[in-house]
Structure 1
Amino acid sequence: MTTNRAVPFHCPYCAEEDLRPHGDKHGEWECRACRRAFSVSYIGMLVPGSK
């Protein structure tokens, strides 16, 4: 399955760039450098003027 969504360019824990898809769900990634798995998801658009 292909998607036009952006992919992370670096690990949020160690900042290395050796990322690979992880698991069966969209947005799951693994970092080969620090051996952590993490997920990235879209929550929604912010309403202008809201906190």
Structure 2
Amino acid sequence: MSGDGTARAVPFYCPYCGEEDLRPEEEPPGAWRCADCRRVFLVRMIGLLTEVAR
């Protein structure tokens, strides 16, 4: 993963239908298309927690 935030996060399944046949989409940048339900979605890493909240 590059430090500038441009690396593509790779999902293993569609968050809407659970299908595993995902293809990269050109627009918007970093988007994925599900071949089953035809939804286009983004996966983005926000960050890591420094401590576990209890």
Q: TM-score, normalised by structure 2?
A: 0.71
Aligned length: 48
1: CA distance between counterparts of 2:9 and 2:41? 15
Question: Which of 12, 17, 20 is residue 20 of structure 2 equivalent to?
Answer: 17
Higher relative contact order (CA 8 A, sep 6+): 2
Q: TM-score, normalised by structure 1?
A: 0.75
What are structure 2's unaligned runs of at least 5 residues?
A: 1-5
Task: Write out the 4+ residue segments of structure 1 that deviate beyond 4 Å after TM superposition.
Answer: 3-6
Q: Percent identity?
A: 54
